[in-house]
């Protein structure tokens, strides 16, 4: 009798394991169809072209962002997606856009200069011409050194300038090596919450730097300076754009400020060191929307077909907003184009997912994941109180793409070891395309965090960096040319497959244990 009981129990266990394996194994027929459509009939570069070259920059709160949202909605309606909407997530602050940027050195000779206005800074109210002076303030005591010396001057703010702008002998673009990928999961206990306490707290250092910059801005404005020239890292005409003032309605008044190409600003510094008079003329036209603007995300769905599971969700997304120095092709036009293409592939193939598949294109990511956090709060709950809404329990997973235009090499599992067997099975058919690495680690601040912090499985893909950190991330070179078509096609088919397989499971993906 005991032998029969043991045999029955063993048979039940084997049957359960076989069912589980069958439940998570990849559907090779569907993957073959996805590859056929996504590799031989791809529309991802066409989508990226329309989003970037035809639309332009997409700074949150700008007319360009509103135009992009309308375009994305119409494109997904054209494909036949369901419940397509431009959905508000909350208020943002001031809208801002630049309409003109002319700046040139006029003495000791004429030279057109490479520069971009810093976001949310004012314009010049016409053409201005001023002598260039250097200001270097390392602490509050230095402020007094410039009293009565800055009226009408164009200030090079040396505090914000990089050093060591020399010839480079390392390629800008690179792919992850097998060794780098293998080492990604070398420390399975690595946890962002357990980061070591640093002796020199970088957060305090940044806060101190910001506080000093506010006092510098107050000095420059009070002394009647005409404009500010500054720069960060970047060479060979590449400059990294950012904001020079707050987008909030009660932000402090500042001067017109330009982020300038390193070679051009360095030339002026050398001329000043040599005792030459340097003059600059400029005309900057920037416009503001001074109301507390309501901002939006773009949402679309492929409805589920299983009467028991169609209320549940599998989500994918990327941020549609960008900085203003270029057209935001790699940050994050590429991610948005891939997610739209993944939805197009699934819809074109007329696959019948059991769960509803929902794509969301976020705004406000560059200002702190604002769009995805607003959406998550509206739909799923409060990250601070951990009070969840019913929809929070319905989401199986959220997949995000936002680390440039490089091909997918695997998945950051965000500390969720339970998903490993699923992702191993689903990535196996793409090993020949370079995607096979799983790491328990998290990656940087992308929109998947808005889901993870509410207990929803949220994942960001591992991507080849290409030129993201060296040439395109938040720069005036973040353009269509920096996207590699083969990489975006590869990413599109992998994400379409991952989303489909998640939607077809009998159960939702495992969630991480709730922290007490």
- CA torsion angle for 86, 88, 91, 94 (degrees, to 10)? 10
pLDDT of residue 268: 96
Cα–Cα distances in Å, from 111 out to 107, 114, 265?
9, 10, 12
Q: What's the rounded Cα separation, in Å, for the pair 124 and 286?
A: 8
Q: What's the rounded Cα separation, in Å, for the pair 440 and 412?
A: 6
Total number of residues shown for the chain:
516
pLDDT of residue 270: 96
Q: What's the rounded Cα separation, in Å, for the pair 254 and 236?
A: 29
Give 443 or 387, the one with higher predicted confidence.
Answer: 387
Question: What is the CA angle 344-350-352, rounded to 5?
Answer: 110
Sign of CA dihedral 434, 398, 451, 425: negative
pLDDT of residue 428: 98
Residue 131 in this model has a pLDDT that exceeds 60? yes
Domain assignments of the chain as residue spans, ordered by start: 26-92+293-504, 96-164+171-289
In tens, the pLDDT along 362-385 reads 999 999 999 999 999 999 999 999
In tens, the pLDDT along 418-443 reads 999 999 999 999 999 999 999 999 88
Ranges assigned E (strand) in 320-443: 356-362, 381-382, 387-388, 395-400, 408-412, 437-439
pLDDT of residue 95: 94
- List the helix and strand counts (H, then E) for the chain: 12, 18
In tens, the pLDDT along 289-346 reads 999 999 999 999 999 999 999 999 999 999 999 999 999 999 999 999 999 999 999 9
pLDDT interval class at 196 (50, 70, 90): very low
Domain 26-92+293-504 has CATH 3.50.50.60: no
Q: What's the rounded Cα separation, in Å, for the pair 63 and 408?
A: 32
**Residues 8-18: what's their mean pLDDT?**
37
**Residues 34-47: what's their mean pLDDT?**
98
In tens, the pLDDT along 256-289 reads 999 999 999 999 999 999 999 999 999 999 999 9
Cα-Cα end-to-end distance for the chain: 45
Cα–Cα distances in Å, from 477 out to 237, 419, 483?
9, 37, 11
Residue 408's φ and ψ, nearest 5 degrees, are -75, 135
Q: Is residue 332 within 8 Å of 402, Cβ to Cβ?
A: yes
Give 328 or 203, the one with higher predicted confidence.
Answer: 328
Token pair recorded at residue 448: 């998947």
Percent of the chain with pLDDT over 90: 83
Residue 195 in this model has a pLDDT that exceeds 50? no
Closest residue by Cα to residue 51 from 322, 255, 345: 322
Closest residue by Cα to residue 328 from 14, 36, 60: 60
Residue 514 in this model has a pLDDT that exceeds 80? no
Cα–Cα distances in Å, from 475 out to 60, 232, 368?
16, 11, 18
Q: How many CB atoms lie within 10 A of CB 479?
A: 18
* pTM: predicted TM-score of the whole model, two decimal places: 0.92
Q: What is the mean pLDDT of the chain?
A: 91
State whether residue 243 is helix, strand or coil. strand
Q: What's the rounded Cα separation, in Å, for the pair 218 and 354?
A: 59
Question: Token match 């790491």: residue?
Answer: 439
Residue 211 in this model has a pLDDT that exceeds 80? yes
Q: Is residue 336 within 8 Å of 348, Cβ to Cβ?
A: no
pLDDT of residue 5: 45
Q: Is residue 376 within 8 Å of 358, Cβ to Cβ?
A: no
DSSP for 185-239 reads TS-TT--GGGPPPPSS-HHHHHHHHHHHHHHHHHHHHHTT--EEEE--S--TT--
Residue 410 in this model has a pLDDT that exceeds 80? yes
Residue 160 in this model has a pLDDT that exceeds 70? no
Give 353 or 234, the one with higher predicted confidence.
Answer: 353
Residue 198 in this model has a pLDDT that exceeds 70? no
Helices (H), 25-112: 28-40, 44-49, 63-78
**Residues 90-119: what's their mean pLDDT?**
97
pLDDT of residue 192: 40
pLDDT of residue 2: 43
H-run or E-run covering 377: helix 370-379
Please list, residue by residue across 48-61, b when 16 or more beta carbons sit within 10 angstroms of its beta carbon and e when fewer do: bbbbbeebbbbbbb
Residue 19 in this model has a pLDDT that exceeds 60? no
Token pair recorded at residue 238: 């590449």
DSSP 475: B
DSSP for 331-344 reads IIIHHHHHHHHHHH
* Record: fold of 96-164+171-289: Glucose Oxidase; domain 1 (3.50.30)
**Residues 5-27: what's their mean pLDDT?**
51
Residue 25 in this model has a pLDDT that exceeds 90? yes
pLDDT of residue 169: 87
Q: Is residue 502 within 8 Å of 397, Cβ to Cβ?
A: yes
């Amino acid at each position: 009798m005991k032998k029969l009981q043991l045999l029955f129990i063993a048979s039940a266990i084997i049957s359960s394991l076989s069912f589980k394996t069958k439940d998570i194994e990849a559907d090779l027929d569907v993957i073959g169809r996805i590859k056929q459509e996504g590799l031989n009939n791809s529309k991802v570069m066409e989508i990226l072209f329309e989003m970037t070259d035809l639309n332009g920059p997409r700074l949150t709160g700008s007319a360009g962002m509103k135009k992009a949202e309308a375009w994305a909605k119409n494109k997904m309606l054209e494909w036949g997606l369901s419940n397509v909407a431009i959905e508000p997530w909350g208020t943002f602050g001031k809208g801002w856009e630049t309409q003109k940027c002319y700046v040139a050195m006029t003495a000791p000779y004429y030279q057109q200069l490479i520069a971009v206005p810093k976001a949310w800074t004012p314009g010049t109210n016409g053409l201005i011409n001023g002598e260039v002076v250097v200001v270097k303030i390392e602490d509050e005591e230095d402020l007094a050194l410039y009293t009565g010396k800055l009226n009408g001057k164009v200030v090079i703010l040396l505090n914000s300038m990089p050093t060591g702008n020399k010839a480079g002998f390392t390629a800008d673009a690179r792919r992850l090596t097998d060794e780098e990928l293998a080492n990604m999961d070398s420390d399975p206990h690595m946890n962002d919450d357990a980061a070591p306490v640093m002796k020199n707290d970088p957060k305090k250092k940044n806060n101190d730097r910001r506080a000093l910059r506010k006092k510098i801005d107050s000095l420059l404005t009070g002394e009647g300076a005409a404009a500010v020239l500054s720069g960060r890292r970047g060479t060979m005409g590449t400059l990294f754009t950012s904001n020079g003032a707050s987008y909030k309605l009660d932000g402090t008044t500042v001067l017109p400020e330009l982020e300038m190409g390193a070679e051009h600003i360095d030339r002026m510094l050398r001329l000043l060191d040599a005792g030459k008079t340097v003059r600059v003329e400029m005309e900057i036209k920037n416009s503001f929307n001074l109301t507390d603007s309501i901002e939006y995300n773009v949402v679309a769905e492929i409805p589920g077909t299983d009467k028991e599971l169609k209320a549940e969700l599998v989500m994918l997304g990327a941020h549609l907003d960008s900085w203003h120095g270029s057209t935001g092709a790699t940050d994050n036009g590429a991610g948005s184009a891939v997610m739209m293409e993944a939805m197009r592939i699934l819809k074109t193939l007329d696959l019948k997912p059991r769960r509803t598949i929902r794509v969301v294109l976020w705004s406000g990511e560059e200002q702190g994941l604002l769009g995805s956090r607003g959406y998550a709060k509206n739909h799923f709950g409060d990250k601070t109180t951990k009070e969840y809404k019913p929809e929070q329990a319905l989401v199986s997973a959220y997949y995000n793409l936002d680390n440039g235009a490089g091909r997918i090499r695997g998945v950051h599992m965000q500390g969720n070891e339970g998903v490993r067997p699923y992702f191993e099975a689903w990535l196996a058919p793409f090993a020949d395309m370079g995607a096979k690495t799983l790491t328990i680690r998290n990656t940087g601040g992308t929109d998947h965090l808005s889901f993870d912090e509410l207990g929803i499985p949220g994942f960001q893909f591992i991507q080849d960096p290409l030129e993201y950190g060296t040439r395109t991330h938040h720069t005036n070179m973040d353009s269509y040319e920096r996207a590699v078509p083969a990489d975006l096609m590869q990413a599109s088919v992998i994400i379409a497959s991952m989303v489909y397989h998640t939607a077809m499971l009998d159960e939702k993906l495992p969630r991480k244990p709730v922290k007490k």
